[in-house]
Amino acid sequence: MTYLARRLINSVLLLIGVSILCFLFSDLAPGNFLDEMKLNPQISPDTIAALRSRYGLDQPMPLRYVHWVKSIAQGDWGYSFAYNSPVRNLLAVRARNTLILTSAGTLLAWLIALPIGIWTADRCGAWGDRLVTGITSLVISVPELALAVGLLFLAVRTRLLPLGGMVSLSFDQLSLGAKVRDLVMHLALPVTMLVLSSLPILLRHVRAQMIEVLKAPFVQAAVGYGIGKPRLLLGYALPAAANPLISLFGLSIGGLLSGSLLIEVITGWPGLGPLLLESSISRDFYVVMGVVTASAIFMIAGSLLADIMLLIADPRIRTE
């Protein structure tokens, strides 16, 4: 069995396990969407019973799980009690918005972490390395929630960036260039929060891996042959350090995705985070399941992407 086939099978089994556990924990939680209706004297018990039968809440948990899996196969992803519509309609737009935010944050974080990590590794112990290490230590020590609230406070005080939402109210009347600029301006604050929460960890890992490779005998031999510093760092050291960094890339996607859910709630970005919060408060069971499953799919897809990159970068895996 090939490497990618094994990884794909493991990913499918992991997704099934996540869905079963989430379904079980949600079922064990007290109450459901219809419980509040029982407090309304104008709604008869017969109506409540009819609604429970309509939504399948009177069936045992294993049977409801099977029906939910069938609804995923049909493309509905269950039925939302609060919105009175298939969960698919809610997830489509929200998942796209979360994917935009996470992709932008991941790309920007790595574009910053790679050059700075390589630069500090080459100057290990120098003043620049100590300065970057001190700044990353300071940022790591600040809780992510406090960091996000602090940036939000600065944005409110300075009014340099728009707050809340994904676009302005007049977005449809703007030109194409103005639409892109408006989207980027709304994206700037949540992406900044996302990058600052993950960048120190990425920087430290890149720096540590590059320092380890720069001490390797083949790199020292390359220095002895008089190979220039840019070629030495980018042509020899970075490819040798690629494997752990590619694995870290897959893990960082999952970390950024989980962090984006909180940031979306704080900044009002219309992604999966606010939808998960709203559906949890209203006990909209199948929406919660849909959000958790979609998030798990994104994280597994990021891990598979890292596996594909490892397969391309490392001939030993292809030989295996």
**Number of neighbouring beta carbons within 10 Å of residue 129:** 17
DSSP 265: H
Segments making up each domain of the chain, as ranges = 3-87, 92-319
Residue of 102, 193, 189 lying closest to 139 (CA atoms): 193
Residue 162, pLDDT above cutoff 90: no
Determine contact, residues 82/33, Cβ cutoff 8 Å: yes
pLDDT level of residue 319 (50, 70, 90 thresholds): low
Residue 314, pLDDT above cutoff 80: no
Query: For residue 123, what pLDDT is reported?
Result: 86
pTM (2 d.p.): 0.83
Domain 92-319 has CATH 3.40.50.460: no
Residue of 273, 114, 258, 129 lying closest to 194 (CA atoms): 258
Cα–Cα distance measured from residue 269 to residue 101, given in angstroms and rounded to the nearest whole number: 9
Query: For residue 39, what pLDDT is reported?
Result: 67
pLDDT tens digits, 101-141: 988 988 999 999 999 999 998 888 888 888 988 888 888 88
The number of CA neighbours under 13 Å toward the Cβ of 311 is 14
Q: Which helix (H) or strand (E) holds 85?
A: strand 85-86
Query: For residue 77, what pLDDT is reported?
Result: 84
pLDDT level of residue 93 (50, 70, 90 thresholds): confident
